[in-house]
Amino acid sequence: MRQTFACTLTALIITAASLATVTISRDAADPLTPARGVVFHDANENRVRDAGEKGLADVRVSNGVDIVKTDSDGKYEIGVDNDTIIFVIKPSGWRTPISEHQNPRFYYIHKPKGSPPLKYRGVAPTGDLPDSIDFAMYPQAEPEQFNAILFGDPQPRDQKEIDYIAHDVIEELVGTDASFGVTLGDILFDDLSLFEAQARSIALLGIPWYNVVGNHDINYDAPNDSISDETFERHFGPAYYSFDHGPVHFIVLDDIEWYVAEGQEKGRYRGGFGAKQIEFVKNDLAIIPEDQLVVLLMHIPFDEVHDRQGLYRLIEQRPFCMSVSGHTHYHQHRMITREDGWMGPEPHHHIVNVTVSGSWWSGTPDERGIPHTICKDGTPNGYSIISFDGAEYRLDYKAAGRPADYQMQIDAPEVVAIADVAETMITANVFNGLPTSVIEMRIGSGDWVRMASTLRPDPTYKRIYDFELSVTQKPWLKLPSPGNSSHLWEAMLPEGIAPGSHLIEVRASDVFGKTYSGQRIVRVTK
């Protein structure tokens, strides 16, 4: 899928002349110091450049604003200050080292004095700038067709909830053919001491795992935004960066802006990119061909970020660009249009990804002791698998602990009196439904009838919510109030149904070329 929903990627060769480097204004009291190094093919995989190991030409290296390319010998030079993370923009066909927890190590942190004292430990002092900051790379096959796993908001409060994630999601993904995975922020729920335990569990999948910073992954005792992600940096490196995999360019964004008002002790967050990050994206995109698919990964939904217009201007004329976020704890396909200030010729496809934690691990426990944690739009907790083929993509929703074909919930009464048939509403919640999806219903072998899209709370979720609310002594976390579902369709039962049991069938099709079906039995009485 793309903006115009069809394409074939044409490979282009990027030359050094295509590089555009832009430098934003910096504090004259903190001038840049040149950092130098080599990006090299680590033939023996010991992460040290040994004699005879060749440097790699035309690899992009960034300081979080500027981007340079390595020369023919793999050498680069770029400016740093006393709070800089230098990182390689991984090229297609290569991989970087990974940590014991499967997190890519594509960066070097330069903080001579380390992080300031915070509740959760940040980066230790790194000392003087090394003479050469070298980055090891290893060749790997990256075909045009590949899959990636997307986790929205696992958000565990403690080890018990990390275990929920392990049993509910990780176990069923062992042996996955995905090339890598991404957590779309809210890796944790405020307790940053759990970063390692959470990473250790996900690492059992055995694939590289990237991380987006979320509003629950920052240091709440930070006095300003610039040091709010110190603990995240210690574990995962830069809060924003980019990389290539196969024919696709990925940009991981930090849209958590931490603000402490003057005279206030406590801060708050809001959705924001900041000028420095937007400059990085500008420089990054300057060397990405227009017919290459660009995927933006963030936490807060794109159209809820206060300075999003600056980023809109950078991507809205690109024919192949989409974005994914988490944060809301429901699943939704949004088409960003001119009503939001978008000026592109086609709407921008933004996916608000289903969350692993659902409704924050709330609701009654199942037979495994894991809360059902259904999202407030009626979507079961789970994850997505996004499949790429050149510049085309397809997103598949997967409910945790359910078969892959469980894609809808049909709501209908158990029993309908024959006199009430024509007034009985059937509702289908198609979890991965888009605004353009076609949803149809039939009774038995009758004609297929188009169902109408509606915006209201999911009736199944509301019944669960009302029941759990009625229990006075509940040893589980309370579900959130029902919210409107963006993927709900409805139709009336047709007149003339005879008494007896009848099969309701619902089928759905979407622009990804996927079809889904579901069934429910309703009994009609005299």
Q: What pLDDT is recorded for position 496? A: 87
Q: Mean pLDDT for the chain?
A: 93
The predicted-structure confidence for 417-444, as pLDDT tens digits, reads as follows: 999 999 999 999 999 999 889 999 999 9
Claim to verify: residue 421 and residue 395 sit in the same structural domain? no
| pLDDT of 6 over the 80 cut | no
More confident residue, 204 or 20: 204
Claim to verify: residue 391 and residue 457 sit in the same structural domain? no
Claim to verify: residue 349 and residue 464 sit in the same structural domain? no
Q: Find the CATH number of the domain harbouring 498.
A: 2.60.40.10
- Residue 281 lies inside a defined structural domain of this protein: yes
The predicted-structure confidence for 40-79, as pLDDT tens digits, reads as follows: 999 999 999 999 999 999 999 999 999 999 999 999 999 9
- Residue 20 lies inside a defined structural domain of this protein: no
Domain of residue 414, residue span: 408-525
Give the count of alpha carbons within 13 A of 360, CB side only: 12
Q: What pLDDT is recorded for position 30? A: 58
| pLDDT of 142 over the 60 cut | yes
Quote the number of domains for the chain: 2
Of 367, 399, 431, the one marking the end of a domain is 399
Percent of the chain with pLDDT over 70: 94
Of 364, 399, 434, the one marking the end of a domain is 399
- Residue 478 lies inside a defined structural domain of this protein: yes
CA proximity to 383, closest of 361, 398, 367, 362: 398
The predicted-structure confidence for 257-281, as pLDDT tens digits, reads as follows: 999 988 888 899 999 999 999 999 9
- Residue 316 lies inside a defined structural domain of this protein: yes
Do the beta carbons of residue 16 and residue 72 sit within 8 Å? no
Claim to verify: residue 258 and residue 284 sit in the same structural domain? yes
Do the beta carbons of residue 232 and residue 239 sit within 8 Å? yes
Claim to verify: residue 40 and residue 93 sit in the same structural domain? yes
Q: Which residues pair with 38 in a beta bridge?
A: 75
Claim to verify: residue 239 and residue 359 sit in the same structural domain? yes
- Rounded Cα distance between 110 and 63, Å, is 10
Claim to verify: residue 268 and residue 243 sit in the same structural domain? yes
- Residue 76 lies inside a defined structural domain of this protein: yes
Give how far Cα 525 sits from Cα of 206, 395, 419, 446, Å.
55, 42, 9, 19
Claim to verify: residue 338 and residue 427 sit in the same structural domain? no
Claim to verify: residue 236 and residue 313 sit in the same structural domain? yes
Q: Is residue 364 packed enough to be buried (19+ CB in 10 Å), middle (13-18) or exposed (0-12)?
A: middle
More confident residue, 370 or 5: 370
Q: Give the pLDDT band of residue 511 (cuts 50, 70, 90).
A: confident
Average pLDDT over residues 484-496: 95
SS3 121: coil
Quote the distance between the C-alpha of residue 90 and its chain's center.
19
Quote the distance between the C-alpha of residue 402 and its chain's center.
21
Claim to verify: residue 420 and residue 477 sit in the same structural domain? yes
The predicted-structure confidence for 195-235, as pLDDT tens digits, reads as follows: 999 999 999 999 999 999 999 999 999 999 999 999 999 99
What single letter denotes the amino acid at residue 285?
A: L
Claim to verify: residue 415 and residue 281 sit in the same structural domain? no
Average pLDDT over residues 445-474: 95
Do the beta carbons of residue 406 and residue 420 sit within 8 Å? no
**Helix count and strand count (H, E) for the chain:** 7, 30
SS3 16: helix
Q: Find the CATH number of the domain harbouring 56.
A: 3.60.21.10
Of 368, 399, 430, the one marking the end of a domain is 399
| pLDDT of 14 over the 60 cut | no
Give how far Cα 456 sits from Cα of 326, 328, 427, Å.
21, 17, 11
Average pLDDT over residues 308-334: 97
| pLDDT of 3 over the 90 cut | no
